Amino acid sequence: MPTNPRLTRRNPDELLVGLVSVSDRASSGAYQDQGIPSLQSWLDEALLGTAQYATRLIADEKPLIARTLIELVDEAGCDLVLTTGGTGPARRDVTPEATLEVATKEMPGFGEQMRQISLRFVPTAILSRQVAVVRETAGHAALIINLPGQPKAIKETLEGLKDADGAQLVPGIFAAVPYCIDLIGGPYIETHERIVKAFRPKSAVRAPRS
């Protein structure tokens, strides 16, 4: 498994992100991975500030997934790790189990909201087993979220659903991510509101820089 040295922030508000695509066929070269490019493209468009990425394309192997998540948090120092793939009921779908194995705290609201969004489109959304957790180590913590495998579903899950006029119908999960990262000691993340509006209590909103 490739490893990188600890990422170094270029400014205090830079987000350090781990992107993990879990797929037997893509990791073997049978087809081109679409998960990581979709995640990075969405984040580049949604984030107001800068981000650095550490990417991993790996097979559906529980020990490998767990080791990858640990490496991205403990060694690379990522604040946020997003996985895609391996969350269904098939025997090879073990991403949620590996994620829970490395967790300090489970964050069930993220999975609940992801399924609510997907149920707007397909009844089989109830088969999804995506989870989100916080992993804490000495002096550092990260939010880890399992996302769907398809680019369209990734966008809908992160961004939420809007009507033809752009009004929010169902909030996306990323609206809660910046404040969660605040609470676990990470950088202050802001977003482009046209894509997703980060929500914080008024007491947690930082005054605009002069």
CATH number, domain of 157, equals: 3.40.980.10
**CA pair distance 4, 17, nearest whole angstrom:** 13
Phi-psi region of 141 (alpha: psi -120 to 50; beta: other; left: phi over 0): beta
- Give the pLDDT score at 31: 81
- Give the pLDDT score at 64: 98
Are the beta carbons of 123 and 61 closer than 8 angstroms? no
Q: Please list the rounded mean pLDDT of every run of 10 residues in the chain (210 residues).
A: 72 97 83 91 96 96 98 97 95 97 98 93 92 96 95 93 82 97 97 94 82
Are the beta carbons of 43 and 17 closer than 8 angstroms? yes
Domain assignment present for residue 89? The answer is: yes
Number of H helices, E strands in the chain: 7, 8
**What DSSP designation does 77 have?**
-
Domain assignment present for residue 4? The answer is: no
Exposed, middle or buried by CB within 10 Å (0-12, 13-18, 19+), for 90?
exposed
Dihedral, CA atoms, 70, 74, 75, 81, nearest 10 degrees?
60
Neighbouring C-beta atoms of residue 29, cutoff 10 Å: 9
Domain assignment present for residue 2? The answer is: no
Q: What are phi and psi of 144, to 5 degrees?
A: -115, 125
Domain assignment present for residue 207? The answer is: no
Q: Provide the domain limits for residue 56.
A: 15-201
Specify the number of domains making up the chain: 1
- Give the pLDDT score at 26: 79
CA 34, 48, 7: angle at the middle one, nearest 5? 65
- Give the pLDDT score at 1: 46
Model-level pTM? 0.94
Domain assignment present for residue 161? The answer is: yes
